[in-house]
Structure 1
């Protein structure tokens, strides 16, 4: 998914910028490890946390592993055009976990927070990593939204995995891919 560049053998993603959008699902805690892994590979990781994500993980966690400030607000002291800056500088935008709500808002072209405005502003490839309860994932509207972001918006959808779920009954589809699997997808 990343465009080709000359790679450094120890830090193969040196000079590549990844915007990591984190939404409000229980799987958000796993994305701290993803940010760490991407940073260790040499990528510059800019993190956007939605309001829902901040109920599960704190910006400081991402700042600690990436060495960069995590963005949380559409309108902040960093400037009104932060979404344009993030979108234009990204080599890849990865949304993980991508909740049913975020997928629906992206499918509708909504621009009501920093993450959705960045999705609209970027021309970089977008990777969506769904994570939700199996009933929500299999709902016809969620499936229609996933088809829309994939077929109409040309976003790549990776996952979800199948296995034990944090919320709900037992196991099934809806589990977030593991961080190393998401790295492979990027």
Structure 2
């Protein structure tokens, strides 16, 4: 069975991870979820655990099974690493190789051959900032496929590009990469 690791980061769009998880499991994919501390402010781990039928990885320093180093083993087992939504903060950490939470530590431990997809979601000005654009370029050079955010009225009320791609677009991209 194909294993997808869905990394959820701190964005108002984090609630869409429930729909993404549900749709991926309906396709017969095994979905393991990782969450940043900020993501847990937007959606509860329990919601994603129920939908994925797997415990949610929350703390890189919490090792329940002495036979496993969770972030290393997840990296070895995953066929596709999907970051959706990807906040500007997590994008910056991934680009710089920081490993201070379950998402970033697992990403850094991925084999170079693992398929990686990132779906940014943030305010337009944050997305257009030269630092974010540079970080996205760096991630592309690391092999990340970027699903472009869409134009919409954002959570802050601004109109512009930065909304998470539609769930259908994300699911279609995953299907193209592993089914």
TM-score normalised by L of structure 2: 0.92
Distance in 2 of aligned mates of 1:119 and 1:139: 23
Query: Is residue 156 of structure 1 aligned with residue 145 of structure 2?
Result: yes
User: Which residue of 51, 64, 69 maps to 1:81?
Assistant: 69
State the aligned residue count.
170
| SS at structure 2 position matched to 1:72 | coil
Is contact 1:100-1:136 (8 Å) kept?
A: yes
How much does 1:43 deviate?
0.6
| SS at structure 2 position matched to 1:24 | coil
| SS at structure 1 position matched to 2:12 | coil
CA-to-aligned-CA distance 1:44-63 (integer Å, 9 cap, x gap)? 10000110000000011001
How much does 1:114 deviate?
1.0
Query: Is residue 183 of structure 1 aligned with residue 178 of structure 2?
Result: no
How much does 1:118 deviate?
0.6
**Corresponding residue for 1:8?**
none
How much does 1:163 deviate?
1.4
How much does 1:64 deviate?
1.3
Distance in 1 of aligned mates of 2:45 and 2:96: 27
Higher helix share: 2
The 5 A counterparts of 1:31-180 are 31-79=17-65, 81-123=69-111, 124-151=114-141, 153-169=142-158, 171-180=159-168
How much does 1:168 deviate?
4.1
Which aligned segments of 4 or more residues in structure 1 are displaced greater than 6 angstroms? none
Alignment root-mean-square deviation, CA: 1.1
Distance in 1 of aligned mates of 2:144 and 2:162: 18
TM-score normalised by L of structure 1: 0.88
Which runs of no fewer than 5 residues in structure 1 stay unpaired?
1-14
